[in-house]
Amino acid sequence: MNNSLPRLIDGMVATLRKEVIPRIEGEYARGQAFGIIYMLNNLKLRCSWSNAFLMEQLKALEGVSRDLAPLAPDLAGAPLPDIHAPAALPEVGTLEAMRDAGDGRVCDLIDWLAANRARLPAEAAASVESIVDAYLARQAKYEISTSAKPMFVEMSGGAEKT
Amino acid sequence: MREPPGGSSGDAPAFETVARLRGRLGQYLSGAVGRTVSVERVTKFPAGFSWITCEVSLSGFPGVNEAILRVGPPYGLFAPYSAMPEFESLSALAASEVPAPRVYHASDDPAILGAPFFLSEKVEGDTPLPWGSQGQTIQGARRESLAADFISALAALHRFDWRATPLAKWGEGVTHENAALKQVDDWEARFRRWALRPHPMAHRALQWLRGNAPVAERLSLVHGDYRLGNFLEREGRISAILDWELVHLGDPIEDLGWAFLPQYRGGTPLVCGLASETDFLSRYEAQAGRPVGPASLRFYRVFSLLKLAFTHMAAARCFENGLFHDLRMPAMATQISPVFRQIGRALDEAA
């Protein structure tokens, strides 16, 4: 891919809006097309080309750098590439599993606190609750800040909101 | 392709194919009324994530030419379904002051259409949606008239003497003391079925609800999804309350908590885009004959937000499982976090 992902999505959305949707027959089908726009807008806020995709390109660059290096003494002043790919980057699936395990632990803590509150120092229980609530607020705020503006009017009516 | 429950191997369920649907439904209705009934035409409505709704033209069905067929598909939002709660409650309400469609026949036997279904009256009217037709709000005399009908119908539902009907059997095990917690249990079970990942806010809210469950002042028939978008309007009046799939016995304040959700205000500060909270409560209390306790209302507002978050999780689950490709499903799923933020604020206010 030679374009940035955000620009690619902007282009797809503009094409759908200007060229495709006006020619679609039927409210439901147009609503679904607006659904595609909405989901693309969400992807734009959360996605980038994947680590694995870029890593493969870096490894190729590392290879060409390694292959050229022995020739350096004969190529005085040549701008030889000297690229080193990072040893490893976590896979998205690994990060997702870590997040889910962490959230699972927070769920367990919330349930445990409710079951054991009576025997805990009131101040400690209140502090745990306050810290957990701050965590929940932070996660919700981030999730919302990386979500596109809802398009339920368009999706249900199959027409641009007026 | 989905395996057809009760259909011949390799075939889509009868409700998925218009020709087979017409044949099977006609056969069933002929047997039910003891004369030949044919289904002339079936038109599917595009709206809805749960039950499939079709308009059907009938020939030979006593006194009815046009009817509504509702089918609960195995891939619907709240599947698996039974047609019986909706059918039994609407049958019982036929003689009440609640504007609701008459129901004719129902069956959960998958051998007939491949899914539970019921046939009901076709009531004339349009459905104002929570997000407004093209974002427009309901105004003036029309709003006042709809508000009056909306509040009156709810009060009538909650006054309805279900004990004097076959719905009395629904009361087994439901008490004033456990009505709220039974609903929390039911929805927690759904949450555990639907969630695709751990949700600490859901646990936080469930624990709060368990610690703050009110005793119901009254046990009533509860609609379960009473809101803008679930009634038909004709000439400025409500002609029918629709979508009774979540009907149950419980604390009537539950319906108020749901109707009061910000998501159903149609871009206005008004309850369901129709009446201010104060106005709604005073008119409801006068007609229902009982005051609405602030603590109960607070409980059911939080409960309703959590139900809404769980419904969004159901949408995510349906889409993720590949049972539905409707893009409104993942769009709904994007709303889990905004609802969680509202729950967090509601819990802060309650502290």
Report the CATH number at residue B206. Answer: 3.90.1200.10
Partner residues linked to B105 by β-bridges: B119
Helices B200-211 and B336-350: crossing angle, nearest 10°? Answer: 40
**Between chains, do A153 and B197 touch, taking CB under 8 Å as contact?**
no
| Domains: count for chain B | 2
pLDDT at B48 over 80: no
Has residue B149 been placed in a domain?
Answer: yes
Which residue's entry shows tokens 């959360």? A46
Query: Which pLDDT score, from 0 to 100, does residue B105 have?
Result: 97
Task: Work out the average pLDDT over B169-196.
Answer: 97
Structure tokens at A86: 């990072």
Together in a domain, B116 and B163 = no
**Between chains, do B327 and A100 touch, taking CB under 8 Å as contact?**
no
pLDDT band at A162 (very low <50, low <70, confident <90, very high): low
Burial class (CB in 10 A: 0-12, 13-18, 19+), B183: buried
- Interchain contact A107–B (C-beta under 8 A): yes
Has residue B328 been placed in a domain?
Answer: yes
Together in a domain, B187 and B318 = yes
End-of-domain residue from the set B87, B121, B155: B121
Query: Which pLDDT score, from 0 to 100, does residue B7 have?
Result: 42
Query: Which pLDDT score, from 0 to 100, does residue A2 have?
Result: 81
**Between chains, do B331 and A141 touch, taking CB under 8 Å as contact?**
no
Has residue B295 been placed in a domain?
Answer: yes
Has residue B24 been placed in a domain?
Answer: yes
Give the whole-angstrom CA distance, residue B137 versus residue B265.
9
Give the whole-angstrom CA distance, residue B15 versus residue B20.
7
Every domain of chain A and the residues it spans = 60-89
Judging contacts by C-beta atoms under 8 Å, the chain B residues touching residue A35 are: 326-328, 330-331
pLDDT, tens digit, 9 for 90 and up, residues B226-244 = 999 999 999 999 999 999 9
Query: Which pLDDT score, from 0 to 100, does residue B25 have?
Result: 97
Query: Which pLDDT score, from 0 to 100, does residue B129 have?
Result: 79
Share of chain A above pLDDT 70, in %: 99
Together in a domain, B71 and B194 = no
Q: Which of A47, A40, A55 is nearest to A87 (CA)?
A: A55
Together in a domain, B98 and B172 = no
Together in a domain, B282 and B226 = yes
pLDDT, tens digit, 9 for 90 and up, residues B117-145 = 999 999 999 988 776 554 568 889 999 99
* Position with higher pLDDT, B224 vs A51: B224
Judging contacts by C-beta atoms under 8 Å, the chain B residues touching residue A156 are: 47, 129, 131, 328
End-of-domain residue from the set B121, B149, B174: B121
Cα A16 to the chain's mean position, in Å?
23
End-of-domain residue from the set B95, B121, B147: B121
ipTM value: 0.87
* DSSP conformation class of B126: B
pLDDT at A3 over 50: yes
- Test mutation, A30, A41, A99, A107, chain B, max B CBs within 10 A: A107
Together in a domain, B85 and B138 = no
Together in a domain, B138 and B107 = no
Residue-level length of chain A: 162
- Interchain contact A149–B (C-beta under 8 A): no
Q: Kindly report the CATH number assigned to the domain that includes residue B71.
A: 3.30.200.20
Has residue B156 been placed in a domain?
Answer: yes
Together in a domain, B275 and B150 = yes
Cα A70 to the chain's mean position, in Å?
41
Together in a domain, B114 and B34 = yes
* Position with higher pLDDT, A90 vs B219: B219
Together in a domain, B94 and B216 = no
- Interchain contact A126–B (C-beta under 8 A): no
Together in a domain, B164 and B216 = yes
pLDDT band at B301 (very low <50, low <70, confident <90, very high): very high
Burial class (CB in 10 A: 0-12, 13-18, 19+), B204: buried
Has residue B164 been placed in a domain?
Answer: yes
Together in a domain, B213 and B334 = yes
Structural domain containing residue B259:
133-350
**Between chains, do B200 and A136 touch, taking CB under 8 Å as contact?**
yes
Task: Work out the average pLDDT over B295-320.
Answer: 97
